[in-house]
C-alpha cells in the first residue's frame, strides 16, 4: 500500500502556517518579556523608595545632593542613591564611600577616582535597558572615567530654578513639607541615561551647572541650560514634556521617559509605584510640586 505524498502546495501552506504561528509565538514572548521588565523596573523603584523613607526616618529628611561648590561639604557631588546604600543592604559600598571621601574630596580624579563610581548597582537600573548591566567609559573634556549608570532620577520640581520638588542641591525636605499630599507627589521617575552616557550616573555627578539636574534629578518642565557638549546645544530650549523617545535621541535627556511602551514608572512619596502613561503629561507639573496647592489624584 502506497501513502500519498504531500503536494508542493500543501507543503507551502504548512510552512506558511508554521511561520504565522512562530510569529505569533515570538510576539507573545516579547510582550511577556516587556511586561516582566516593566514589573521588575517598578519593583526596583519600590526598593529605592522604601530605602528613601527609611533614610527619612533616620535623618528626619529626604536625602539631598552633595554640593561641590561648598568647601565644608563632606560628600561633594554625591548622588541621592549613594546616600541610600546603608538602607539598601549595601553596607560595604557605604563604607567604601566613606573611605574614598576621607582620602580625596573630588570623586572624579582621573588617575584615582572613587571606586564606587564604576560599580554596577542593580537597584539603580531598569532591566529594560541593557546598559545597566555593566560599567561604561564616559569622555568629558578629554578626560575618561569608568562609570556605572542609573535609570531613576529624583523629582526636583517644575524647572531648575523653582526648587519646588522634593530632591535638589542642599534640599532638606521632610514629609510634613509635602502639603500637596505624599500620595499625589512624585518622588522619583524613569529616564534612561544619555546616548553618550555623560548623564545618568548613580554614584556621583555634577549635573548641569553643578545643580545635579540631568544626572540625579529632573523637573516636569525642564529647560535646556546648554550643557557644554555639542549634541545638547542642538536641542530645543524647552520646556520639555513627558513623552516617548529612543536611546539614540540626545534631547531625551531633558525629561522623564522610559523604554516601556506607552509611559513610565513613577514612585510617589507615600511609597507607592505607579505607571503613568504619556497622556498624563498635562498633570505632571502638579504631581511634582510638594506644596503647589493643586488638586490632582492619580488612580
Pairing of strands 143-147, 136-140: antiparallel
Q: Give 268's strand partners.
A: 186
What is the per-residue pLDDT for 299?
62
Could you write out the three-class secondary structure of 46-102? Answer: HHHHHHHHHHHHHHCCCCCECCCCCCCCCCCCECHHHHCHHHHCCHHHHHHHHHHHH
If one counts every other C-beta atom within 10 angstroms of the C-beta of residue 224, the result is 19
User: From CA 75, how far away is CA 114, in angstroms rounded?
Assistant: 12
What is the mean pLDDT, run by run of 10 residues, along the chain of 299 residues?
A: 60 69 60 74 96 97 91 92 97 97 91 94 96 92 87 96 94 96 97 96 93 95 86 90 97 97 97 97 96 74
What is the per-residue pLDDT for 12?
67
Q: Residue with C-alpha cell 511634582?
A: 288
The pTM (predicted TM-score) of the whole model is 0.87
What is the per-residue pLDDT for 109?
86
For residue 239, give the 3-state DSSP assignment: coil
Residues 6+ apart with CB under 8 A from 126: 37, 40, 41, 44, 132, 151, 152, 190, 192, 258, 259, 265
Q: Please count the CA atoms within 13 angstroms of the CA of 69 that sit on its side-chain side.
A: 8
- Which element (helix H / strand E) includes 14? helix 8-59
What is the per-residue pLDDT for 27?
58
Q: What angle do CA 187, 189, 190 make, to 5 degrees?
A: 165
Amino acid at each position: 500500500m502506497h501513502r500519498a505524498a504531500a503536494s508542493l502546495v500543501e507543503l507551502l501552506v504548512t510552512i506558511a502556517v508554521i511561520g504565522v504561528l512562530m510569529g505569533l509565538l515570538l510576539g507573545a514572548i516579547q510582550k511577556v518579556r516587556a511586561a516582566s521588565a516593566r514589573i521588575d523596573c517598578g519593583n526596583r523603584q519600590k526598593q529605592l523608595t522604601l530605602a528613601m523613607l527609611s533614610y527619612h526616618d533616620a535623618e528626619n529628611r529626604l536625602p539631598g545632593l552633595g554640593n561641590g561648590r561648598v568647601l565644608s561639604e563632606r560628600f561633594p557631588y554625591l548622588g541621592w542613591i549613594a546616600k541610600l546604600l546603608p538602607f539598601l543592604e549595601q553596607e560595604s559600598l557605604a563604607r567604601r564611600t566613606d573611605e574614598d571621601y576621607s582620602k580625596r574630596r573630588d570623586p572624579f580624579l582621573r588617575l584615582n577616582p572613587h571606586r564606587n563610581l564604576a560599580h554596577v548597582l542593580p537597584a539603580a537600573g531598569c532591566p529594560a535597558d541593557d546598559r545597566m548591566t555593566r560599567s561604561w567609559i564616559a569622555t568629558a573634556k578629554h578626560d575618561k572615567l569608568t562609570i556605572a549608570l542609573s535609570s531613576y532620577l529624583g523629582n526636583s520640581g517644575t524647572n531648575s530654578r523653582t526648587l519646588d520638588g522634593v530632591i535638589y542641591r542642599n534640599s532638606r525636605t521632610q514629609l510634613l513639607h509635602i502639603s500637596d499630599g505624599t500620595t499625589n507627589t512624585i518622588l522619583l521617575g524613569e529616564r534612561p541615561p544619555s546616548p553618550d552616557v555623560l548623564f545618568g550616573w548613580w554614584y556621583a555627578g555634577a549635573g548641569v551647572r553643578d545643580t545635579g539636574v540631568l544626572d540625579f534629578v529632573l523637573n516636569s518642565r525642564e529647560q535646556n541650560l546648554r550643557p557644554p557638549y555639542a549634541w545638547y546645544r542642538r536641542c530645543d530650549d524647552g520646556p520639555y514634556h513627558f513623552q516617548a523617545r529612543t536611546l539614540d535621541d540626545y534631547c531625551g535627556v531633558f525629561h522623564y521617559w522610559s523604554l516601556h511602551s506607552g509611559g513610565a514608572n513613577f514612585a510617589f512619596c507615600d511609597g507607592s509605584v505607579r505607571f503613568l502613561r504619556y497622556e498624563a503629561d498635562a498633570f505632571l507639573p502638579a504631581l511634582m510640586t510638594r506644596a503647589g496647592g493643586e488638586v490632582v489624584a492619580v488612580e
